[in-house]
Amino acid sequence: MDLQRIDLNLLVAFEALMAERSVSAAAVCLGLSQPAMSSILRKLRALFDDELFVRSGRAMLPTVRALQLEVPITQALAQIRTALEPQSPFVPATSRRIFNISGGDYATTIILPRLAALVAEEAPFVDLRFRFIEKNAVLDFLDTDALDLALGVFPNPPKRMGLQPLFEERFVCVTRRDNPGLTAGMTLDAFVALPHLLVTERGDSVGAVDEALAKCGRERRVALTVPHALVVPAVLPSSDLVATVGARVARLFAQAAPLMVYDTPVEMPPWQLSMLWSRQKDGDHGLAWLRGILSGIGRIV
């Protein structure tokens, strides 16, 4: 069937006829005259090549074809009405929405405590679902609404995604306080001589430090790789390992364990933690509210 032949008003009239089982009653329902409604019924019969409704006494009974059309037409009209209705405002105090967010160890450690507290204060019935999604799969999850928002480092997102930096971060080194390899401080020679701990979600042994060292003709030994940054303060105090991590999380580690924080002896550019979302959701008032809270957190952490 050629969709260009279909007048949406015909489908609305069909819906009324199915509900009222009467041409005159359907006409009243739609605010039309009975002759106008009879004309619409003729057009419906021509469109679907079926009588659709046959008279039985004072009632109009639907044919088999009309009964087959009832559910899909009713559902289609319901979806159109929903799409055309003004979006309901997001009211944090009463909303029971669930937000799905992706974030790794770093983002979760730095952002989540403040986010959970602020959401609980402003929107006590809103639930947060944090999960880790590998970076190469994040776009697919955002495209399919499996995620509302992703936190991480996204250097070149596609145009269909919205990106907002939250804060800039720099790398620092963390190791135990009495590390015997640092009697002269965290020099470049001492740095490359120490065994290194690398936090890597991919399970490889090459990171940003190796790229920086390669530029000055040096290399390090990665003695241990771990998938989660939160094990760092548990491992470092009983080893000579050094880990290169973000400055904010390093400060937290040094508060929780006998660790020292040093500037990196090799030049490493800063990086940005950002939030990423699908631009298809730019009109989502709830997501805009959540992004606003995250923006505020980014200014104070």
> Of 87-91, 161-165, 265-269, which range is least confident?
87-91
8 and 62 part of one domain? yes
CB 244 within 8 A of CB 196: yes
Whether residue 70 sits in one domain with residue 105: no
180 is a domain residue? yes
The residue out of 35, 59, 84 marking a domain boundary is: 84
Query: Do the beta carbons of residue 48 and residue 69 sit within 8 Å?
Result: yes
Do 261 and 247 share a structural domain?
yes
- Residues 206, 155, single domain; the answer is no
- Per residue in 201-256, pLDDT tens? 777 888 899 999 999 999 999 999 998 888 999 999 999 999 999 999 999 999 99
Residue 267 C-alpha from the chain's centroid: 33
Structural contact between residues 172 and 248, judged by C-beta atoms closer than 8 angstroms: no
* Element spanning 260, H or E: strand 259-263
Checking if the pLDDT of 119 tops 60, the result is yes
Dihedral of the alpha carbons of 188, 193, 198, 203, in degrees to the nearest 10: 130
Q: How far is CA 14 from CA 10, 11, 99, 120, 219, in A?
A: 6, 5, 39, 48, 76
Q: Is residue 215 part of a domain?
A: yes
Give yes or no: residues 281 and 149 share one domain.
Answer: yes
At 122, is the pLDDT very low, low, confident or very high (cuts 50, 70, 90)? Answer: very high
CA pair distance 114, 196, nearest whole angstrom? 31
pLDDT (average), residues 53-80: 89
Question: What is the dihedral angle through the alpha carbons of 38, 43, 46, 51, rounded to the nearest 10 degrees?
Answer: -30
CB count in 10 Å sphere of residue 209: 23
Q: 166, exposed or middle or buried, with CB in 10 Å at 0-12, 13-18, 19+?
A: buried
Band (59; pLDDT cuts 50, 70, 90):
confident
pTM passes above 0.85: no
Predicted confidence at residue 44, as pLDDT, reads: 92
170-190 pLDDT, tens per residue? 999 999 999 999 999 999 999
Q: Same domain for 195 and 153?
A: no
**57 vs 208 pLDDT, higher one:** 208
Do 228 and 203 sit in the same domain of this protein? yes
Q: Are residues 32 and 179 in the same domain?
A: no
* Percent helix, percent strand, percent coil in the chain, to nearest 5: 50, 20, 30
Within 13 A of 124's CA, how many CA atoms are on the CB side? Answer: 3
Residue 89 falls within a domain, yes or no?
no
Q: Is residue 90 part of a domain?
A: no
Helix (H, G, I), strand (E, B) or coil at 162: strand
- Does pLDDT of 83 surpass 80? no
Q: Is the pLDDT of residue 132 over 70?
A: yes
On the question of pLDDT at 3 being above 60, the answer is: no
Locate tokens 């470092």: which residue? 236
Q: What whole-number percentage of the chain has pLDDT above 70? A: 97
Q: Which amino acid is at 211?
A: E
Q: What percent of the chain has pLDDT over 90?
A: 77
Q: Which residues of 4-43 are buried (b: 16+ CB within 10 A; e: fewer)?
A: eeeeeebbbbbbbbbebebbebbbebbebeeeebeebbee
Q: Could you list the residue range(s) of the whole structural domain that residue 255 is in?
A: 171-269
Q: Is 91 within a domain?
A: no
Backbone angles phi, psi at 3, to 5 degrees: -65, -25
Contact 150, 103 (CB under 8 A): yes
Q: Read off the pLDDT of each residue in 116-120 and give the average, rounded to a whole number.
A: 97
One domain, residues 7 and 148: no
Asked if residue 117 belongs to a domain, the reply is yes
What is the number of structural domains in the chain?
A: 3
Please indicate, yes or no, whether residues 154 and 289 belong to a single structural domain of this protein: yes
Q: Write down the mean pLDDT value for the chain.
A: 92
Of 57, 84, 111, which closes a domain? 84
Q: End-to-end CA distance of the chain, in Å?
A: 59
Do 261 and 186 belong together in one domain? yes
Query: What's the confidence (pLDDT) of residue 151?
Result: 97
Rounded to an integer, the average pLDDT of 83-99 is: 86
| DSSP designation for 180 | G
In this prediction, residue 201 carries a pLDDT of 78
